[in-house]
Amino acid sequence: MIITVIGWYGTETIGDRAILAGLISFFNKAYGDFEIRLGSLHPFFTQRTVNEDYSYYKEIINKDFKIEIFNSTNNKELVASIKDSDIVVMGGGPLMDLYELYMVEYAFKKSRKLGIKTAILGCGVGPLFHKKFRKSVLNIVLNSDLVILRDEISKDNLKEIYQEFATSFSDDLISTNYDPAVECALQYNKLSEKSNQNYEYIAVNLRDFPHEYSKENIGADINAQLMIFIKELSLKYKDKEIRLIPMHYFHIGGDDRVFLNKIALELNMSNIQVQNISLTLKETMEIFKSSIFSIGMRFHSVILQTIISRKNYVLDYTEPNKGKISGFLNDIDENNFFSERYIALQRDNISLGMIKETEKKIVISNKINDKLDIYISKLIDN
């Protein structure tokens, strides 16, 4: 089975790397023998991250496999990969206001014309503030043989797009499931279950507030609140190290180290340390697992911390009750674990009061594996 995977690779975060790990696990379970053609917007960066994570990918499936990288912005390379494939996959991430969305739309239309199967696996829908991008998302979905969105909120957002363009929506053709990074985290837990090493630090992921996630000009205010929050956290836990952990190490998409170092330099507090040397996917998960507790802002830091650390707090920068973070929490938090551990940054004031002195951990239902198996069964049926 030859699989072309496209999306936002080339600007990938640790989260995108976790998505790829989850997809590799699904492909292995569904097909056994497979090869991946991975489309990248900036192939040199993807080559680096794949080299860093390949040993972990092999751990998950317990064997070698072939993965080749091509330039998905080059029409000839993109079409050649499509023609050589059995299926073309949009490999996770958001379908949102990005011009690169047109590349995905073109690839799916081309695949449909050539009779190549297509699949959307674990994607979100939104934020989509511009009509031209909403139309592009509609075209991508209409040219998909298999659609699995990462949460119910994304499905609701997609229904609104169908209604906007007077298109009939078939509920049965659109599935929802967890983000593929959940599979990555669960596999990590299995591989590291004998490891109980803990350290005296608090792991925190923050990001410079991204303007594309809000219609309002609120970024400067939220960033200032985050600065105060880290100062208060450092003072409260002055005998502990506050480790600021990036989820992104590339300037396109926002290298987290720029914002994290700005916080550390302005506060100038001895127990605040920035992880400036880039970590692999596995090393990042080890940091979250071994921390006293963790705090996440980027979406996939929330996913990895929730599954691996299980004693985490959430700073949600996306749209309240509509964004990807609340979508994930709504689907996974059956026991209201995050009722006092969640702040919607576009709505709430950040308060250190959310940090409770407790050893309570989120309960991860055994049903999560059964739900993830839907990826495998649908890939086989497709």
Q: Tell me the residue range of the domain where 15 lies.
A: 2-187+368-381
126 in the same domain as 53? yes
120 in the same domain as 14? yes
Q: CB neighbours (10 Å) of residue 377? A: 11
pLDDT reading at 255 higher than 80: yes
Pairing of strands 342-344, 312-316: parallel
33 in the same domain as 180? yes
Contacts 24+ apart (CB under 8 A), 56-64: 56/21, 56/280, 56/281, 56/282, 57/20, 57/21, 57/24, 59/191, 60/21, 60/24, 60/25, 60/28, 60/184, 60/187, 60/191, 61/24, 61/25, 61/28, 63/28
pLDDT value, residue 241: 97
- Please give the mean pLDDT across all residues of the chain: 93
Structure pTM? Answer: 0.94
78 in the same domain as 178? yes
Question: Quick check: is 200 in a domain?
Answer: yes
Q: Which of 195, 192, 186, 188 is nearest to 367 (CA)?
A: 186
305 in the same domain as 266? yes
**Pairwise CA distance, residues 354 & 313, whole Å:** 8
pLDDT reading at 197 higher than 70: no
CATH of the domain at 344: 3.40.50
Give 328-362 pLDDT, tens digit per residue.
998 899 889 998 899 999 999 888 988 887 778 89
Question: Quick check: is 359 in a domain?
Answer: no
Give 170-183 pLDDT, tens digit per residue.
888 899 999 999 99
pLDDT value, residue 54: 97
CATH of the domain at 90: 3.40.50.2000
pLDDT value, residue 188: 96
Which class for 292: exposed (0-12), middle (13-18), buried (19 or more C-beta within 10 A)? middle
Question: Quick check: is 360 in a domain?
Answer: no
Question: Quick check: is 290 in a domain?
Answer: yes
Give 272-321 pLDDT, tens digit per residue.
999 999 999 999 999 999 999 999 999 999 999 999 999 999 999 988 87
pLDDT value, residue 7: 94
220 in the same domain as 160? no
Question: Quick check: is 257 in a domain?
Answer: yes
Percent of the chain with pLDDT over 70: 98
Overall average pLDDT of the 129-148 stretch: 95
pLDDT reading at 194 higher than 80: no
Which range is least confidently modeled, 93-97, 224-228, 258-262? 93-97
318 in the same domain as 265? yes
Give 90-123 pLDDT, tens digit per residue.
998 889 988 999 999 999 999 999 999 999 999 9
216 in the same domain as 307? yes
Question: Quick check: is 362 in a domain?
Answer: no
Q: How far is CA 313 from CA 147, 206, 210, 215, 371, in A?
A: 31, 12, 20, 26, 25
Question: Quick check: is 324 in a domain?
Answer: yes
pLDDT reading at 1 higher than 70: yes
* Number of domains comprising the chain: 2
pLDDT value, residue 319: 84
Q: Which of 188, 211, 287 is nearest to 243 (CA)?
A: 287
Give 200-221 pLDDT, tens digit per residue.
899 999 999 987 767 678 889 9
pLDDT value, residue 215: 67
pLDDT reading at 267 higher than 90: yes
Overall average pLDDT of the 125-131 stretch: 90
164 in the same domain as 61? yes
pLDDT value, residue 195: 61
266 in the same domain as 163? no
Overall average pLDDT of the 135-150 stretch: 96
**Pairwise CA distance, residues 285 & 301, whole Å:** 9
311 in the same domain as 289? yes
Question: Quick check: is 363 in a domain?
Answer: no
Name the band, by pLDDT with cuts 50, 70 and 90, for residue 196: low
201 in the same domain as 92? no
Q: CB neighbours (10 Å) of residue 349? A: 8
pLDDT value, residue 360: 82
Name the band, by pLDDT with cuts 50, 70 and 90, for residue 269: very high
pLDDT reading at 259 higher than 70: yes
Give 8-22 pLDDT, tens digit per residue.
999 999 999 999 999
Give 62-77 pLDDT, tens digit per residue.
999 999 999 999 999 9
